[in-house]
Amino acid sequence: MIVGSESIFTGYSKAFEKLNADPDDIVILCHDDIDILLRDDYFTSLLMNELADPKTGFIGPAGAKVLSSRSVWWDQEQWANGGCGGLAFHGEEFGPICDATCYGSYGPAAVLDGVFLATTARVLNTIGLEKPDYLTGDWDFYDIHYTYSAKLANFTNKISPIILLHNSRGELVGRNSWHVNREQFTNKYRDKFPITINE
């Protein structure tokens, strides 16, 4: 768990450095308010199988096959046109206050949501986890930055059947860091949009 770090980038970077991981080791970056809804043996097997190919970048339960210039992976227009994929449960517990969001089919992705990201140490050593100079907000847009960096390094990201319960709604209202970093990401890659899996 990241505690007392000045940014999520620094927290992830320092934690990964302490691991001293071998290149093929699997590393998970995730929120602390999730429950994995898979049997341990199935979950482990899924990660190992999905990350066995050295060309695989990140895998996660949800993301965008197409990222528009709005730089919002769950963009409603892209979603309606099949540009998103994955499945997630949201809420504080199962029952009336829990709901499932189906974004679309599994498969290759341009970028992934940061609620859960799994990859190998090889990928992380290639892209780096440090905060990039172009982002000024400390706590947001790391997921889009990391997964797009993997794509730019010729890795393939995948939306995978990792079923989880996210014990929050992920509200962004009032999160200035997210809005600032989204604008900065959009400005940096303005000539790349729409970002697709075949780019």
Domain range 8-196, its CATH number among 3.90.1150.10, 3.90.550.10, 1.10.10.10, 3.40.50.300:
3.90.550.10
Bridge partners for 131 per DSSP = none
Alpha helices by DSSP H, the chain: 8-19, 40-50, 76-80, 121-127, 142-152, 176-188
Q: Is the pLDDT of residue 28 over 80?
A: yes
Domain locations in the chain as residue ranges: 8-196
| CB-CB neighbours of 109 under 10 Å | 31
What is the per-residue pLDDT for 98? Answer: 73
pLDDT tens by residue, 108-157:
999 999 999 999 999 999 999 999 999 999 889 999 999 999 999 999 99
Question: Whole-angstrom Cα distance, residue 184 to residue 190?
Answer: 10
Q: What's the pTM value of the predicted model, to 2 decimals?
A: 0.94
State residue 199's pLDDT score. 67
Q: Region 68-81: what's the mean pLDDT? A: 94
